[in-house]
Amino acid sequence: MKKRWWLFLLFLSSALLSACGSRLGANSWPGVSAADGQVYVAAGPAVYALTEDNGRFLWAFTGQDEKGFSAYAAPALSPDHTLLVVGDYGGVLYGLTPAGDVRWRFAAAESHYVASPLVTAQAVYAPNADGTLYALDLNGQPQWAFHAGQPLWGAPVTDGQRLYLPSLGHHLYALNPQNGAVVWDVDLGGALAGQPTLQDGVLYVGTFAKEIVALDAASGKILWKTPATGWVWDGPTYDPTTDTLYVGDLGGKFFALDAKTGQQRWAEQPDGAIVGRPTLADGVLYFPTEDGALIALSVDDKPRWQYAVQGHLYASPLLTKDHLLLAPYKGENLVIALDLDGRMQWALPVKQAEAALKASKK
């Protein structure tokens, strides 16, 4: 199995430079979101909007008065789907309409938006690689800022009472969502690059200390730790039917863990590092590997199917009503739509997307 550790070390180095005020460019994989029959793909120089049923190009957004616009984090939607929030690697956060029109622009950050913001019915919480979490209202007006002091790559999660924020500085913070005051913070001994999983008052997080950790959400008390074989980039997926966690690591191992104890129930070792969290639907897990495979596996560890793409798969597959959406890194297609049996329904080639983008600027 190939381990492309240089890629992750490059990302890490870029973020650390960004925290010191540098605007040196970095690279990342495309991010995808969807709502109301539209798919939004953040893929470098543009955010593309497509129809979900057939991948037809609708519009592209390339920033507003910005040179070198570059976006990778999946655009975040407000609960009512009327606001689309996009972060630029140049440090600008945009609020867009679903038609791609700019509603507001926030430019106070000093580095990259690596993670998607968290958008609730009341606020936007946007972590930045400059080490700051920016809280805005839905009109883009700043409300408060929390300075962690280390790059923020993972999206926060909330239960309404507290906001839980991971950092590359090893700390997991619980904040008051109204003012950013620290409720508790815990040093987990390794960088936290992905969004925590919150379930029934328990937080589950993966760390670069090669561990999956469960914490009490109210107090921050560590409930259990389970070792992995490599860095754990994202949080696990929780299955309420069996009280099981599913998570992969950069060592290429995929685990099923007892959510109450962290004890391993089963494990698999496919080819390629696993970065994105698995997607769960109707007793089937779908997870990507760096070697370009989307693997479908039943929750009782029985193989279903595999789908191979050109390029690498880092981001979690996005499940919509009718499709699994993939956005390969350095592949021939910008986005691919599969059905739940692994059959391709449509794909938008990168060259076609670039041509549509060029035509839209005329």
Q: What is the pLDDT of residue 175?
A: 98
pLDDT tens, 299-320?
A: 999 999 999 999 999 999 999 9
Q: What is the pLDDT of residue 254?
A: 97
Q: What is the pLDDT of residue 361?
A: 77
Mean pLDDT over residues 333-358, rounded? 94
At 271, the pLDDT band (50, 70, 90 cuts) reads: confident
Contact between 173 and 182 (Cβ < 8 Å)? yes
Least confidently predicted of 195-204, 326-335, 350-359: 350-359
Residues 6+ apart with CB under 8 A from 238: 197, 199, 204, 244, 245, 259
Q: What is the pLDDT of residue 21?
A: 32
With a cut of 70, say whether residue 249 has pLDDT above it: yes
CATH of domain 5-360: 2.130.10.10
pLDDT tens, 134-164?
A: 999 999 999 999 999 999 999 999 999 999 9
Mean pLDDT over residues 101-124, rounded? 96
CA end-to-end span of the chain, whole Å? 46
Q: What is the mean pLDDT of the chain?
A: 91
Contact between 196 and 204 (Cβ < 8 Å)? yes
Q: What is the pLDDT of residue 357?
A: 86
Q: What is the pLDDT of residue 308?
A: 96
Residues 6+ apart with CB under 8 A from 309: 292, 293, 294, 326, 328, 331, 333, 336
With a cut of 50, say whether residue 14 has pLDDT above it: no
Q: What is the pLDDT of residue 176?
A: 98
Assigned token pair, 220: 């921050």
- With CA atoms as reference, report the closest residue to 246 among 299, 192, 194: 299
Least confidently predicted of 20-34, 83-97, 346-360: 20-34
With a cut of 80, say whether residue 264 has pLDDT above it: yes
Q: What is the pLDDT of residue 362?
A: 63
With a cut of 50, say whether residue 130 has pLDDT above it: yes
Determine the Cα angle at 78 with ends 72 and 81, to 5°: 100
Q: What is the DSSP string of 4-30?
A: -HHHHHHHHHHHHHHHTT---------
With a cut of 80, say whether residue 325 has pLDDT above it: yes
At 66, the pLDDT band (50, 70, 90 cuts) reads: low
